């Protein structure tokens, strides 16, 4: 039986994934597919690397670092809201349940002829110098 060569591992060498770059990509909400594309590898390679590096799946690792990114984004939004009224309004709606108030008036109309009469009364009067289509 032939001997296996020593010192030569079988299969491809492990993909070199920079840990700091990986963590930063998670913080800016890159997807697993995008991260794999950046490192020019397969999604399974990223998941296996996470298991070796963090002793957890990609999903759990991603949640940990993406939450840090969300906190940074929220901090920037709050800072922007100090100078930007639109951002302050947006954050008030998102986090404080604030809404725009829209007022509506409901009129009761007894019949269509009275509605037509109200519309005619509200129509702008023609100035004397203007001609109508009937003339």
Instruction: State the average pLDDT over residues 108-119.
Output: 73
pLDDT digits (tens, 9 = 90+) for 66-95: 988 888 888 888 899 899 999 888 888 888
- Integer Cα distance of 16 and 49 in angstroms: 9
Domain boundaries in the chain? 19-96
pTM of the model: 0.56
DSSP 125: P
pLDDT reported for residue 108 = 72
pLDDT digits (tens, 9 = 90+) for 50-59: 999 999 999 9
Percentage of the chain beyond pLDDT 70 is: 82
- Integer Cα distance of 79 and 85 in angstroms: 12
């Amino acid at each position: 039986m032939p001997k296996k060569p020593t010192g030569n591992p079988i299969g491809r060498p492990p993909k070199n994934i920079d840990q700091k770059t990986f963590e930063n990509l998670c913080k800016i909400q890159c997807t697993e597919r995008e991260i794999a594309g950046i490192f020019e590898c397969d999604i399974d390679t990223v998941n296996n690397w996470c298991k070796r590096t963090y002793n957890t799946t990609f999903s759990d690792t991603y949640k940990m670092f993406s939450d840090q990114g969300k906190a940074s984004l929220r901090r920037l939004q709050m800072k922007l809201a100090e100078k930007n009224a639109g951002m302050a309004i947006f954050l008030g709606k998102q986090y404080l349940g604030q809404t725009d108030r829209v007022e509506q008036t409901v009129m009761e109309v007894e019949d269509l002829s009275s509605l037509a009469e109200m519309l005619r009364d509200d129509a702008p009067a023609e100035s004397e110098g203007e001609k109508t289509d009937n003339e």
